[in-house]
C-alpha cells in the first residue's frame, strides 16, 4: 500500500513540475525591443557608358570601359603575356586619380600621383666624407677547459 502511495505522489510531482522551455535546460529571455533600425537602400547600379573587348587567337587582348561614376579602365596584352594598362577613378575628396601599370617578367609595377614613392636618402655616405669606415675585427674566442664528467 505504501508503494502505491509513493508511486502516485511521484507521478503527481512529475506532472506538476514545468519542463524547461529553452534548449539545454536554459530558460528563454523575454524579447528585448529597441529602437527601430534604419535600413539604407542599396546604392543604384552604376551604368556602363562604353565597353570594348577584343581577344585575338594568339592570346593577346585589349579591353576598355567607362562607367557612369567617371571610373575607367583600359588594358592590353601582347602574346608574350606582358600587360599594360591604366585605370582612373574619382577619390572621396573629388579629385581624379590616374594609375598606370605594367605587368611583365619584371613583376607588377604601378605608377601615378597616388602611388607612394620611396623616401629619398639624403644622408651623406661615409666614403664621400673622406673618412674610412671602421675595420671589422673578429671577436676573440676562448675555448673553455674540459669539465669533468660524472
Q: Is the pLDDT of residue 88 over 80?
A: yes
Q: Is the pLDDT of residue 84 over 90?
A: yes
Q: Side-chain half-sphere of 147: how many Cα atoms within 13 Å?
A: 3
Predicted TM-score (pTM) of this structure? 0.52
DSSP class of residue 115 equals S
What is the per-residue pLDDT across 90-133, written as a single tens digit (0 to 9) for each? 999 999 999 999 999 889 999 998 888 776 666 555 555 666 66
**Mean pLDDT comparison of 2-6, 22-26, 28-32, 104-108, highest-scoring range:** 104-108
Pseudo-torsion of CA 111, 114, 116, 121, nearest 10°?
90
pLDDT of residue 136: 80
Sign of CA dihedral 109, 110, 115, 120: positive
Per the listing, cell 547600379 goes with 45
**Is the pLDDT higher at 26 or at 6?**
6
- Please provide the average confidence, as pLDDT, over all residues in the chain: 80
If phi > 0 it is left, if psi is from -120 to 50 it is alpha, else beta; for residue 120 that is beta
Q: Name residue 73's beta-bridge partners.
A: 65, 87
Amino acid at each position: 500500500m505504501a508503494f502505491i502511495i509513493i508511486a502516485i505522489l511521484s507521478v503527481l510531482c512529475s506532472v506538476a513540475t514545468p519542463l524547461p522551455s529553452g534548449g539545454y535546460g536554459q530558460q528563454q529571455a523575454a524579447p528585448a525591443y529597441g529602437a527601430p533600425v534604419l535600413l539604407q537602400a542599396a546604392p543604384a547600379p552604376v551604368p556602363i557608358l562604353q565597353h570594348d573587348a577584343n581577344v585575338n587567337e594568339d592570346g593577346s587582348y585589349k579591353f576598355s570601359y567607362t562607367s557612369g561614376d567617371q571610373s575607367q579602365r583600359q588594358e592590353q596584352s601582347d602574346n608574350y603575356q606582358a600587360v599594360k594598362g591604366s585605370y582612373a577613378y574619382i577619390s572621396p575628396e573629388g579629385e581624379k586619380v590616374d594609375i598606370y601599370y605594367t605587368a611583365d617578367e619584371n613583376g607588377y609595377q604601378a605608377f601615378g600621383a597616388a602611388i607612394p614613392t620611396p623616401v629619398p636618402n639624403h644622408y651623406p655616405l661615409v666614403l664621400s666624407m673622406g673618412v674610412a669606415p671602421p675595420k671589422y675585427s673578429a671577436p676573440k674566442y676562448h675555448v673553455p677547459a674540459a669539465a669533468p664528467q660524472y
